[in-house]
Structure 1
């Protein structure tokens, strides 16, 4: 087998492996292998092929990693996306001595805690977060 064929087989294997893992990093390395194949088709030596493949693949991984870090959502947005109940309202009838309340939300009983700066008082509250099996509420 000649060098371009080997590079294309490596690129195909990396793409197939990427499809099983679901990350884009192996796809970026496959781009490097494809660049090595193109350079091999151009008649460059094996050392140049390896250097080009490593440079293109490595640069693609660095660029992809920088892109992913820029695209990450702030923690509050992730919490809202994970818990669709954040932002919903519940009625609190009474708070106990420990600062806990039992509220009914979506047909289930929940233990609720009040946000620290305000004092617990009965009435309508908004769900700020869900910590384990407790609703964190703020007074509306």
Structure 2
């Protein structure tokens, strides 16, 4: 079997492994292996094939990492609308209670239950508020106005 065929078989195996993991990183490695197959088909020596495969695979992997499809910074789950469906939802607060040092709290009905609500931003006036964060059974809100 020729060297370029070996590179293609190896690239195919890596693509199959990628199907089991669900990441694009193994696809980037297989791009490097395909580059090695191309260099082998042209007729370059094995060390040069390895070098090209390593460089192309590394560049592809690093490019993926810094793209919008790469690893994301993990944020706080209490503020992530993808984790908690309440983030970004609106609720009405009828009355605020000052608990000291400019902090306000309230008790309001949201999704059929009573919740403790804490004001993070805005004025402590009755009205509509948006949920910014969920901490335990407390909703941290900001004024919509």
TM-score above 0.5, yes or no: yes
Pairwise TM-score range, normalised by the shorter structure: 0.7 to 0.9
Q: Which runs of 5+ in 1 are unaligned?
A: none
Corresponding position of 2:94: 93
Residues 1:17 and 2:21 aligned together: no
Matched residue, 1:138: 142
Structure 2: runs of 5 or more not aligned: none
Secondary structure at 1:34 match in 2: helix
More deviation, 15-24/129-138:
129-138
The alignment covers a number of residue pairs equal to 135
Q: Calculate the aligned-residue CA RMSD, in Å.
A: 2.9
Q: Which residue of 2 aligns with 1:111?
A: 116
Q: Which runs of 4+ in 1 moved over 6 A?
A: 69-73
Distance (whole Å) between structure 2 residues aligned to residue 97 and residue 63 of structure 1: 51
> Could you state the TM-score of these two structures normalised by the residue count of structure 1?
0.77
Report if aligned partners of 2:17, 2:26 keep a CA contact under 8 Å in 1: yes
The structure in which a higher percent of residues are helix is 1
Q: TM-score, with normalisation over the residues of structure 2? A: 0.74
Instruction: Give runs of aligned pairs for residues 68-79 of structure 1, distance below 5 A.
Output: 68=68, 79=80
Closer, same or farther in 2 for the Cα pair 1:57/1:71, shift >3 Å? closer
Question: Which structure: greater strand fraction?
Answer: 2
